[in-house]
Structure 1
Amino acid sequence: MEMKKRISSELSNRNPAEVVELVVENCRSSDGEVEGLTDEYTELEILSMVNVGLSSLSKLPKLPKLRKLEVSDNIISGGLDTLVEKCPDLTSLNLSGNKIKELSSIETLQNLKNLRSLYLYSCEVSTLDDYTEGVFELLPQLTFLDGYDQEDNEVPDSEADNGETAFNRKS
């Protein structure tokens, strides 16, 4: 199913401004861009676009209340500055399984002051020497990277359960 059609079917006669959580997984983006999502989704707090063929987030609309963005298993390699401009309140970002190769690709995330949880496992960048230290140094606002804090403690269940700062860790 195409992403536009999937978003439309997920709406099921609701006004986009009423939608708080939107899950459009395993559908297809025809050109590697976000399709069918508009600035009308003003109340959207949680957005999941897993495995939809995204190569870019440049057409992501302004989502001022978005706190949690799940875009794992796509082909995104950079262009994350869009998130700073369009999703300034993001607290949790899952980029696992994308084409992020260098720490410089995530440098712009420094400007997401509320970002607490970032997932990059199964990205090439996670194989770099000093990956964990490098990310925490680059993004001092982070509490968790790939489900663990700087002392290698797992995300507490209390935070994982409420979904505000953690995604379920995939093994």
Structure 2
Amino acid sequence: MEMKKRISLELRNRNPAEVVELVVDNCRSGDGEVEGLTDEYSELEVLSMVNVGLTSLSRLPSLPKLRKLEVSDNTISGGLDTLAEKCPNLTYLNLSGNKIKELSAIDGLQNLKNLKSLDLYSCEVSTLDDYRESVLELLPQLTYLDGYDQEDNEAPDSDHDDEDEAGPHGDEDDDDEDEDEDSEGEEDEVGLSYLMKEGIQDEEDDGDYVEEEEEDEEEEEEDGDVHGAAVQGEKRKRDAEDEGDDDDDE
């Protein structure tokens, strides 16, 4: 797809002045120049044109708010002087995989006073003797060259920043887990107490049931004794009557 058409599609019915980030990687520049990008993109802060066949940035429009420019894997060999004029606030520039062979090709970057990170990885210039020392001396405003500072500390990236920002939230999640564990512990204690209480109640109920059975047995025994006494008394009465009848007969 041609760069001009790709940029038009990336607008997505927006006004160019509303676009803050524009990515048109892997499209095609017809003549090796930036096509379809105009001064109307005045709010643009991030521009990525990776592997689009660029040979020059001379037709790059004025982008006063641009901070990050990705133009790796193209065939740019020079003409970087225009960046200081077109993008004065540029802080990050990725030129890796281009045709930059000599230090003189990056002389124009000295005027980018806000430039903090420059990537020249896989450019022929990076094979020169004392490459790092020479570039950092030429561009003293740089903090990172090819992703590392002068002490070989790796440059932080957006993923690391996101992880740092997520740190406190992670702690909150741990707190939530601790609270959940505490709640579960309390529930277990409550449940255990409840079961113990139920067990005690069952024992009391069993005790009451045994007492009731014993009382019932005692009542039955008493009833049996009374009934037995009554039967015995009735038998004696009948025997006495029978003896009286025998006396009358005599």
TM-score normalised by L of structure 2: 0.63
- In 2, Cα distance between the equivalents of 1:47 and 1:79? 18
- In 2, Cα distance between the equivalents of 1:158 and 1:57? 26
Deviations 1:50-97 (A, max 9, x none): 000000000000000000000000000000011011000000000000
- In 2, Cα distance between the equivalents of 1:161 and 1:75? 32
Deviations 1:91-148 (A, max 9, x none): 0000000000001110110100000000000000000010000000000000000000
Number of aligned residue pairs: give it.
Answer: 162
- In 2, Cα distance between the equivalents of 1:20 and 1:157? 19
Paired residue type of 1:72: S
Three-state SS of the structure 2 residue aligned to 1:106 is helix
Match of 2:95 in 1: 95
| Change over 3 Å in CA distance of 1:36–1:157 after alignment to 2 | closer
Match of 1:111 in 2: 111
Which structure has more helix as a fraction of its residues? 2
How many percent of aligned residue pairs carry the same amino acid? Answer: 84
Deviation of 1:159 (Å)? 8.7
**Alignment pair present for 1:42 and 2:42:** yes
Paired residue type of 2:139: L
**Alignment pair present for 1:58 and 2:65:** no
- In 2, Cα distance between the equivalents of 1:62 and 1:11? 18
Deviation of 1:157 (Å)? 4.6
- In 2, Cα distance between the equivalents of 1:159 and 1:111? 30
- In 2, Cα distance between the equivalents of 1:16 and 1:134? 39
Paired residue type of 2:21: E
Paired residue type of 1:56: S
- Which structure exhibits the higher relative contact order, with contacts defined as CA atoms closer than 8 Å and separated by 6 or more residues? 1
- In 2, Cα distance between the equivalents of 1:95 and 1:59? 17
List gaps (5 residues or longer) in structure 2.
163-250
* Structure with max Cα Rg: 2
1:131-150 pair list within 5 angstroms: 131-150=131-150
Match of 1:16 in 2: 16
- In 2, Cα distance between the equivalents of 1:142 and 1:154? 14
TM-score normalised by L of structure 1: 0.92
Match of 1:155 in 2: 155
| Change over 3 Å in CA distance of 1:21–1:132 after alignment to 2 | same
Match of 1:86 in 2: 86
Deviations 1:9-50 (A, max 9, x none): 000100000000000000000000000000000000000000
Deviation of 1:156 (Å)? 2.9
List gaps (5 residues or longer) in structure 1.
163-171
| Change over 3 Å in CA distance of 1:149–1:58 after alignment to 2 | same
- In 1, Cα distance between the equivalents of 2:7 and 2:157? 31
| Change over 3 Å in CA distance of 1:158–1:126 after alignment to 2 | same
- In 2, Cα distance between the equivalents of 1:11 and 1:87? 21
Three-state SS of the structure 2 residue aligned to 1:6 is helix
